[in-house]
Structure 1
Amino acid sequence: MAYFERLGPGTFRPTEHVSGAWDESTQHIGPALGLLVHAVELDLAARREDPMVVSRLSYEVLGVVPIDVVDVHVEVIRPGRTIELVEVTYGHGDRTGIRLRAWLQQPRDTAAIAGDCFDPLPGPAAMESWDPTSVWGGGFLASAQVRRISDGPGRSRYWVRTDVPLLEGEDVSDLARAAALVDIADGMAVREDPATVLYPNIDLTAHLVRAPVGEWLGFDTRVTFGPGGLGLTSSVIHDETGPLGTVAQSLTVRPR
């Protein structure tokens, strides 16, 4: 069973694997983030024959979404020959739950000057398996395979993959599969017990320097709580060949 089943051109049904960690009667937004990237890529392929690559994915979480049929709508906000801005909405009924704005760029050959200053991440084989359901409920976290090194409260390095397809009966890119996993960062470096403190994210932004390759997505994550109810989850993301970019999530921190 996949995370979603397609019912029409822009209509989808989530399955039990999409149920959330904070409330199992609502969706975990993780799989939806991947579905929206898939929508961007399908729209791009239908409109253009020249290559474009995603450089930024910026999601706003506008509200919870029940585990029910959803609609996805794609619109090109800023068309261009070498740079485009595309917006995708994810809604239930007349309510929008998630909005994505994606920057796309025409690729260029910069291999001769490529480089980074990120810390290396030990590979999946160097980490122990960790069961996220020991802390979190919901179908999405239960579907994730995690290998992790915990460096203390709010600090972890880990790799994640899943055997669950994003969309029933359709091939999706490695980028869409990875996008379906990036929101997991909020729960992998636990700073406080979620039984005593709520800290869901209200957005997620990924800046990318290249597309991912393979099944495993690696994270080097730090979680920070401020003194006034605000929090931040910051991650450097990797595949098995090296770093891909960064992910940031703004948190609303609410002691129970």
Structure 2
Amino acid sequence: MAYFQRTGDNEFTATEHAGGAWNPKEQHIAPMVGLMTHLTELDHSQRDAANNMVPGRISVEILGTISFDPFHIDIEVVRPGRTIELVEAICVQNGRPAARMRTWFLIQEDTAAIEGTAFEDMPEPTGELRPGLGIGWGGGFVNSIAGYQEMKEPGRGIAWWQTDVLLLDGETVSNLASYMSILDMANGVAVRENPQEVVFPNLDLTAHLFRMPEGKWVGTDTSVSFGGSGVGLTHSILHDETGPIGTCSQVLTVRPRK
């Protein structure tokens, strides 16, 4: 099982496992973020064979719905450099840009002597794995993951997720690409309102990372806020099996169903 299949050098198709939570006939953006991360890393490795740089920020703009039609992904170096590099990936489907990712790569230095964070550890994942996200959520992607969730209050919760579905059929991907392929789920873990009554899709996703993820688990300590004029924010502290690794923010368009 895989979310995507490669049909050419930069051409792909999605499988049913990539089906969206708001509309199962459209792709969920989460696996697309993972695929774009994978392709960005492959492209960058051609210029940084010694692996001297790592991603520090990954920012995604969702430019429209993504169907199950074939698509291609174009990669461009926006700002080349020996110590920092900015790379852009664009998913193009049916002649229009559907999603854009920009990744800042930063030179690695030995800062082990001053390593540390003020972010608190999350409780480790324990108990029985449960599929999906629960209330109001469906679609191929949601049904392809499993984990643990704990709601503290409406708009506040923690979760651990993993999946056995491959990102790209027949290709090995990094821990980072696998991690990013699940991360967009953060917007569904700590709902303030029932998604059957209020829709709140995110328009973007920006992850800032101070270290690369390890292991198979994606952990999010998430808070969701709704303003009074139809704008919301999902903000998460990101974790892997060994502790915090960064943050993720998603801006929301909040629309009560009529």
> Per the shorter chain, which TM-score range?
over 0.9
- Give 2:21's aligned residue: 21
Cα distance in structure 2, aligned partners of 1:165 and 1:95? 27
Cα distance in structure 1, aligned partners of 2:176 and 2:89? 16
Q: How many Å apart are 1:129 and its aligned residue?
A: 3.7
Q: Is the Cα–Cα contact under 8 Å of residues 219 and 238 in structure 1 kept in the other structure?
A: yes
Q: How many Å apart are 1:92 and its aligned residue?
A: 0.6
Cα distance in structure 1, aligned partners of 2:193 and 2:111? 42
Tell whether 2:168 aligns with 1:167.
yes
Instruction: List gaps (5 residues or longer) in structure 1.
Output: none
Q: With structure 2 as the length reference, what TM-score do the two structures score?
A: 0.96
Q: Is the Cα–Cα contact under 8 Å of residues 133 and 142 in structure 1 kept in the other structure?
A: no
Q: With structure 1 as the length reference, what TM-score do the two structures score?
A: 0.97
The letter of the residue matching 1:88 is A
Q: How many Å apart are 1:47 and its aligned residue?
A: 2.5
After superposition, the C-alpha distances for 1:120-174 in whole angstroms (9 at most, x for unaligned) are 2001116874642542010000001121111011111110100000000000000
Q: How many Å apart are 1:221 and its aligned residue?
A: 0.2
- Give 2:150's aligned residue: 149
Q: How many Å apart are 1:229 and its aligned residue?
A: 0.3
Q: Is the Cα–Cα contact under 8 Å of residues 217 and 241 in structure 2 kept in the other structure?
A: yes
Q: CA RMSD in A?
A: 1.2
Q: Is the Cα–Cα contact under 8 Å of residues 30 and 181 in structure 1 kept in the other structure?
A: yes
Give secondary structure in 1 for the equivalent of 2:167: coil
Q: How many Å apart are 1:68 and its aligned residue?
A: 1.7
After superposition, the C-alpha distances for 1:21-80 in whole angstroms (9 at most, x for unaligned) are 111111100000000010111101222323210000000010001012110000000000
Give secondary structure in 2 for the equivalent of 1:190: coil
- Give 2:210's aligned residue: 209
Cα distance change, pair 47–133 in 1 and its aligned pair in 2 (3 A): same
After superposition, the C-alpha distances for 1:72-113 in whole angstroms (9 at most, x for unaligned) are 000000000100000000121211110001000111110100
- Give 1:45's aligned residue: 45
Cα distance in structure 2, aligned partners of 1:87 and 1:191? 33
Aligned 1:56-135 pairs, distance under 5 A = 56-125=57-126, 129=130, 131-135=132-136
Cα distance in structure 1, aligned partners of 2:109 and 2:128? 35
| Matched residue count | 256
Cα distance change, pair 130–191 in 1 and its aligned pair in 2 (3 A): farther
- Give 1:222's aligned residue: 223
Cα distance change, pair 164–80 in 1 and its aligned pair in 2 (3 A): same
- Give 1:241's aligned residue: 242
Cα distance in structure 2, aligned partners of 1:24 and 1:217? 23
Q: Is the Cα–Cα contact under 8 Å of residues 131 and 144 in structure 2 kept in the other structure?
A: no
